[in-house]
């Protein structure tokens, strides 16, 4: 249960706790009595408290030390407000001693009794307000940490892509040389038939290596400037990579290409987006299924801008509610070590940099599966090109 907006009240004597909770509740504040100090300490350490409000009777010397230790262990964003009601009137040695032991506690407010309800509620309200700002700081810090981690990971992926394409580039020359040598050998007149068959097989296999190398090169081509491409060729190039795996898993493929115009985009990046969508679809159809790919012209209803809609649909398991809520978060993956959870996070950023949109529908009932759609404007606005170079991403969907 969350107590992040709640004043936790610990007043062990008489009806104090009940009355304080009532006064705060009447002022529209959330307040909850807590029976033991250990519960308060537990909630304070877990960062699950809006403020603490305690009476002097709650404190023995070890209790003060325990509270001081719990507050000392707060994460660095946290500075939990502590309000303590101390007896007013003539100062006694006992009270003086208690107060001086309490004073070193961080973010402490001592309130003298009897206290007017209006004073109590205004102090509690301020404490909750300052606490809610602390939670906001925590949220921003977490987000920044996640983003930095995800950026690092995606840079690594880009580096791996570059490595793959430089390897593909390097093997092209020796590949060509071996292909030529095989060709020359096949021309030898006195070659036995068996050797000729071997050479043919070698030639065929080499052609496959060559195709893989050129596919890799094409796939990881760096997007330095936006180019005009046919939407279906982007999908077809992605399919080439997955073709063998899809066929081996008995996945049928239906293509419906209806977009005639070319689209201006950073094609390497859009291929990466489509590749992740096809890869995700493949992952839920390892035992067979139907993959539907579609391109069609579509005017974005909110802006009237013309563009192309890519659709990648599968009839796999679909996604539960939690996954549907979290799928665009960095590092969210249900695939264990098989997934980094960055595919859709990066995809969303790429599409938004194009001033495009990502839509998703998914149902878990048999045969419904998941439909991902990516809409891109036909023309890439200048602002989008600038965003490319300044990394200015619009995070809204």
Residues engaged in binding ligand ATP (CB under 6 A): 276, 280-281, 284, 314, 316-317, 319, 323, 327, 332-335, 339-345, 370
In the complex, the smallest distance separating the C-beta of residue 378 from ligand ATP, rounded to whole angstroms, is: 26
Write down the least CB distance from residue 355 to ligand ATP, Å.
21
Residue from 269, 262, 163 nearest 224 by CA: 269
For residue 77, the 8-state DSSP code is T
Q: How far is the CB of 320 from ligand ATP (least distance, A)?
A: 9
By CB under 5 A, is residue 276 in contact with Mg ion? Answer: yes
Which residue of the chain is nearest ligand ATP when measured via CB? 343
The entry of ligand ATP, Mg ion, none near residue 333 (CB within 5 to 8 angstroms by kind) is ligand ATP
Binds 121, which of ligand ATP, Mg ion, none (CB < 5 to 8 A, cut-off by type)? Answer: none
CA angle at 121 for the pair 118 and 125, rounded to the nearest 5°? 140
Output 157 or 387, the one with its CB closest to ligand ATP.
Answer: 157
* Closest among 346, 325, 352 to 149, alpha carbons compared: 346
Q: What's the distance, Cα to Cα, between the start and end of the chain in Å?
A: 30
DSSP string, 298-318: EEETTTTEEEEEEEEEE-S--
Shortest CB 182 distance to ligand ATP, Å = 38
CA dist., res. 182 & res. 177, Å (int): 9
Spatial CA neighbour of 357 closest among 375, 384, 379, 372 = 375
59 versus 345: smaller Cβ distance to ligand ATP: 345
Compute the least distance from the CB of residue 321 to ligand ATP, in Å. 12
Quick note: the x/- pattern for Mg ion over 330-349, rule CB under 5 A, is -------------x------
CA distance 225 to 245: 32
- Please give the residue whose beta carbon sits closest to Mg ion in the complex: 343
Under the binding rule (CB under 5 A), the answer on residue 316 touching Mg ion is: no
Residue 316, binding choice from Mg ion, ligand ATP, none, Cβ under 5 to 8 Å by partner class? ligand ATP
Nearest residue (CB) to ligand ATP, 285 versus 384? 285
**Binding to Mg ion by residue 280, rule CB under 5 A?**
yes
Angle at which helix 267-283 crosses helix 343-353, to 10 degrees, equals 150
Tell me how far apart the alpha carbons of residues 323 and 274 are, in angstroms, rounded to a whole number.
20
CA angle 76, 394, 303 (to 5 degrees): 150
Nearest distance from C-beta of residue 276 to ligand ATP, angstroms: 5
Detail the DSSP E strand segments found in 88-244. Answer: 108-113, 227-229
Of 282, 240, 215, 264, the C-alpha closest to 377 is 264
Smallest separation (angstroms) from Mg ion to the CB of 331: 12
Considering the complex, state which of residue 154 and residue 280 has its C-beta at the smaller distance from Mg ion. Answer: 280
Residues that bind Mg ion in the complex, under the rule CB under 5 A? 276, 280, 343
């Amino acid at each position: 249960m969350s107590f992040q907006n709640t004043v936790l009240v610990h007043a062990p004597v008489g009806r104090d706790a009940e009355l304080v909770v009532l006064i705060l509740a009447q002022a529209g504040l959330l307040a909850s009595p807590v029976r033991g100090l250990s519960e308060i300490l537990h909630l304070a350490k877990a960062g699950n408290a809006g403020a603490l409000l305690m009476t002097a009777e709650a404190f023995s010397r070890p209790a003060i030390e325990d509270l001081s230790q719990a507050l000392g262990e707060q994460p660095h964003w946290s500075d939990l407000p502590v309000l303590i009601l101390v007896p007013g009137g003539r100062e006694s040695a006992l009270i003086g001693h208690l107060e001086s032991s309490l004073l070193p506690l961080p973010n402490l407010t001592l309130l003298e009794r009897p206290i007017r309800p209006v004073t109590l509620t205004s102090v509690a309200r301020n404490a909750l307000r300052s606490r809610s700002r602390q939670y906001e700081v925590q949220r921003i810090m977490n987000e920044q940490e996640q983003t930095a981690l995800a950026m690092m990971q995606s840079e690594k992926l880009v580096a791996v892509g570059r490595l793959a394409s430089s390897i593909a580039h390097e093997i092209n020359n020796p590949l060509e040389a071996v292909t030529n040598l095989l060709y020359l050998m096949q021309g030898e007149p006195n070659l036995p038939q068996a050797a000729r068959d071997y050479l043919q097989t070698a030639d065929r296999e080499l052609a496959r290596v060559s195709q893989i190398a050129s596919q890799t090169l094409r796939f990881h081509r760096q997007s330095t400037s936006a180019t005009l491409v046919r939407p279906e060729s982007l999908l077809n190039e992605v399919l080439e990579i997955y073709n063998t795996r899809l066929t081996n898993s008995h996945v049928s493929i239906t293509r419906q290409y209806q977009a005639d115009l070319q689209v201006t985009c950073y094609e390497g990046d859009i291929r990466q987006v489509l590749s992740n969508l096809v890869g995700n679809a493949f992952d839920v159809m390892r035992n067979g299924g139907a993959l539907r790919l579609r391109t069609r012209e579509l005017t974005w209803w909110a802006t009237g801008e013309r563009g192309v809609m890519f659709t990648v649909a599968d009839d796999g398991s679909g996604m539960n509610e939690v996954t549907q809520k979290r799928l665009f978060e960095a590092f969210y993956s249900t695939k264990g070590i098989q997934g980094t959870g960055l595919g859709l996070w990066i995809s969303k950023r790429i599409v938004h940099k194009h001033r495009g949109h990502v839509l998703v529908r998914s149902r878990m009932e048999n045969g419904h599966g998941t439909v991902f759609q990516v809409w891109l404007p036909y023309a890439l606005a200048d602002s989008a090109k600038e965003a490319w170079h300044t990394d200015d991403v619009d995070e809204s969907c």
